[in-house]
Amino acid sequence: MSAVLAIDNLSKSFPAAKEVHAVVDVSLEVAGGEFVALCGPSGCGKSTLLMAAGGLLEPTSGSVHVDGTDLYSLSQDGRARFRAKNIGFVFQQFHLIPYLDVRDNILAASLATGTGDEERAGELLEHFGLTHRAHHVPAALSTGEKQRTAMARALFNNPGLILADEPTGNLDRDNAETLLEQLSTFTVDGGAVLLVTHDTRVEERAARTLEISEGSLVS
């Protein structure tokens, strides 16, 4: 399959007393149907690369294409709309909106696209076993339920790409396996996954494992 995500010669530096080179000349592709894990020690640039890949952090140089679109050629508003429609995000800390119930947290993914599809939300609630929790706020959920809600929100707009930052970091073994199975199913259906992790369980699931060290790919 063709690349859903194509990162070319991407670098990101941050100004400081001594300039910090967080990502250095990284190129990689993730095709539809592919699950790629990006591994490396804390502070090596993994999360910075993931944020740049998702249009959340403009690189110092290089380019990011998602489904053939150059993310950083778009305006900030255009990039936000494109991101909402084409990229799903799953984070270690879930980033659920605390005052919204589960259904509305899932529907929050429609804010940038204006779809507000209640039927789609209902399908995802059922798929992830959350129907009975639809009207509970995040504080009332278990850790696994929070992660399933975050995964449902990521899938709401039928994206072609999921970017995940340490999504199993707060999960026990059973919930981690459930999440990894959901991500694997997404790739079987043609989606692309790039997942940042320290978790060796992820490496067993991934089609490819890449290692990053001091901002550069080393394998």
Which pLDDT score is estimated for 117? 81
Distance of alpha carbon 157 from the chain centroid:
13
Report the candidate in 78, 73, 38, 71 with the shortest Cα–Cα distance to residue 55: 71
pTM assigned to the model: 0.91
Which pLDDT score is estimated for 82? 94
What mean pLDDT comes out for the span 14-18?
A: 79
Residues 6+ apart with CB under 8 A from 174: 144
**Residue 173 binned pLDDT confidence (cut-offs 50, 70, 90):** confident
Cβ contact 219:211 at 8 Å: yes
What mean pLDDT comes out for the span 170-197?
A: 90
If you average pLDDT over every residue of the chain, what do you get?
Answer: 90
User: pLDDT tens, 68-96?
Assistant: 999 999 999 999 999 989 999 998 888 89
Residues 6+ apart with CB under 8 A from 190: 1, 32, 33, 160
User: pLDDT tens, 25-68?
Assistant: 999 999 999 999 999 888 888 999 999 999 999 999 999 999 99
